[in-house]
Amino acid sequence: MMRVPTIEMAETVTAALDRNAAAAAAMTGCRWERHWVCKSRPGLANHAMARVVWDQLQALGAPHWGEEARVVARAMQAELGLAPMEQPFIPEMSQLIDPEAAEAILRHDLPPSQRNSTSDDYTDMTWHAPTARFYIARPALQAPPGFAYPAWVMNALGGIRATIDPMVERAAQVLALSALRLIEDGAARDAAWAEFTERTGGGVGGSRWVPPLCDYPPPIHFRWPEYITTPRGQDWWIPSAMPGA
């Protein structure tokens, strides 16, 4: 897996890995194979869509975590030997931040030449239709100075209704309102498509459009793990489905 801001950088990394594999195989009398599972394109911005979504998020406001969620959070703090806090959640969870201000924070430590950052697979969709990405905070606890919560805390907060539902429900509301706005507002649709057309140099297939990076066989031959019982207990393994392996 690699995460880089440009396709050119990814190709450079891949070429180096290929050379390393070939050299190791040559020294040890082995053969080597490369199997791609996925390639995704960098994201294509659409400020018109971002403004539509930001309008709806402002209208709805940040999610709110009530006393039921705070009781759960305090119980986790007590389990870890901490003094339960009156306000156990970080304040950023319930605050809105303007997209341009958030972008400025993200880019503060990036080289000016770097256009893309973070990683996800939604970016491939941005090359086929105007797309916006928004974040709704997931629950996170305040920590005393010098203390770091173990990983189970974040996992638990993401699986308990009282703590995770406010995030999920507000995200669904933002999606629904944004979709309704686009259905009803022809000017908003036109602005989003005009920006998409300009950024791609004419839309899908345009002069600046990046086609899908599907230059490899579909990775449909890999096996799922099989769960087995061994003298040591339950385990799993991945049987080979590759001819000659």
The pLDDT of residue 242: 55
The answer to whether residues 54 and 98 touch, using CB atoms and an 8 Å cutoff, is yes
* pLDDT tens-digit readout, 83-119: 999 999 999 999 999 999 999 998 999 998 888 887 7
Helix residue ranges per DSSP H, 29-114: 47-60, 67-79, 99-107
The answer to whether residues 47 and 41 touch, using CB atoms and an 8 Å cutoff, is no
pTM (predicted TM-score): 0.83
Q: Buried b vs exposed e over 156-165: b needs ≥16 C-beta within 10 Å?
A: bbeeeebbbe
* pLDDT tens-digit readout, 24-55: 999 999 999 999 999 999 999 999 999 999 99
Residues of the chain below pLDDT 50: 245
Average pLDDT along the chain: 93
Per the DSSP assignment, residues forming a β-bridge with 237 are 226
